Amino acid sequence: RPDRFEKARKASPEGVVIDLEDTVPAGEKGAARAAVIDYLATRSDGSAVHVRINGASTRAGLDDLAALADGRLPADGLVLPKVESARDIEIVRQLDPRPARALMAAVESAAGIDNARAIAAALGEGDALVFGGADLAADLGAAFAWEPLLAARCALVRAAAAARLPAFDVPFLKIDAPEALAEEARRVRDLGFSGKLAIHPAQVGPIRAAFSPTPDEVDRARRIVAAIEAAGGGVATVDGRMIDAPVAGSARRALARVQARS
């Protein structure tokens, strides 16, 4: 739906993903790719545009990679679907004329979760991991629900943290359930995810709010940092609780998120 590209960009300053994979019928892949190429050549300045290409094991994916190698796909970043090994990352890097282009590796299978650390290690600065919960649930024969996928979410976020990469959670598929979306976004934030993908402009606000510290949390973070600095970097007490360097580090990260959004 090329008519929605600019609408999505206006709704999400953080960036948008244009999909060439699951949402495009097999017979329309070529036309969709051509529409994306035309849009990228004429787009206005604004938020970053990522393109989710098709898997490299498919004909459509090979055509996407050919367009990439020829320089006809000037996206700011790529979302790589169904990444199962570091080799999947290496293939794209070898073909891409812009080796510094941001990559978001979607881990969507049991094999991908098992290899998450190696996948993360193959990525670099500016890249990210994405938790592909729906496809993973199908691969596992599990329900696409919180409890069955909790262990896999934890494995992915640990792999991302070990490689100092951000991790983004799977989109929430119910568009008209903002409270449930906000609750799931808070849960994945507490697990260590950096953000959550949205599939509709109406989801951007609840997700952004869930990943933004509240005024009380900002106030506490400032007091924690001030107390640690006053103590010379050792141990201090805030609100009757002992705090140390790791707690201060979390507080500084919270304040950095606030600064980045201001």
Same domain, 18 and 113: yes
Are residue 141 and residue 200 in the same domain, yes or no? yes
Question: Which tokens is 252 given?
Answer: 């500084």
Task: Please give the mean pLDDT across all residues of the chain.
Answer: 90
pTM of the prediction? 0.85
User: What are 159-189's pLDDT values in tens digits?
Assistant: 999 999 999 999 999 999 999 999 999 999 9
Domain boundary among 195, 210, 225: 210
**Whether 128 and 227 share a structural domain:** no
Residue 41 confidence class, pLDDT cut points 50, 70, 90: confident
Contact 74, 117 (CB under 8 A): no
Co-location of 163 and 245 in the same domain: no
Taking alpha carbons only, the member of 215, 213, 243 closest to residue 228 is 243
CATH number for the domain spanning 194: value is 3.20.20.60
pLDDT in tens, 198-227: 988 889 999 999 988 778 888 888 888 888
Asked if 202 and 229 sit in the same domain, the reply is no
- The single-letter DSSP state of residue 132 is -
In this structure, the answer to whether residues 107 and 85 fall within a common structural domain is yes
The structure tokens listed for 87 are: 């080799």
Q: Are 150 and 74 in the same domain? A: yes
pLDDT for residue 255: 80
Q: Are residues 34 and 160 in the same domain?
A: yes
Domain containing 25 equals 2-210
Query: Total domain count for the chain?
Result: 2
91 lies in the same domain as 23? yes
